[in-house]
Amino acid sequence: MMKARVGADTCIGCDLCEETCPRALMMVDDKAAVQVEPVPAEAETACQQAENDCPVKALSPE
């Protein structure tokens, strides 16, 4: 079971993670936010990809 955390102070609102993993991440006030927890099993791979691709590494698993 995977959870995700967004470092709101680090996120620059690039929106890449929402595009990569819309099932678990959404944009709120131009910052990424976790919209469902734990991350659904079918979205874990995409969420992992979003964490890897974030340009400022603002996402982390828990």
**Residue 25 burial class via C-beta count within 10 angstroms: exposed 0-12, middle 13-18, buried 19 and up:** buried
Choose which of 5, 13, 36, 37 interacts with ligand F3S (CB under 6 A): 13
CB nearer to ligand F3S: give 26 or 40.
26
* 19 Cβ neighbours under 8 A, 6+ residues apart: none
**Site residues for ligand F3S, window 23-62 (CB under 6 A)?**
32, 54, 56, 58-59
Binding-site ranges for ligand F3S (CB under 6 A): 6, 11-17, 32, 54, 56, 58-59
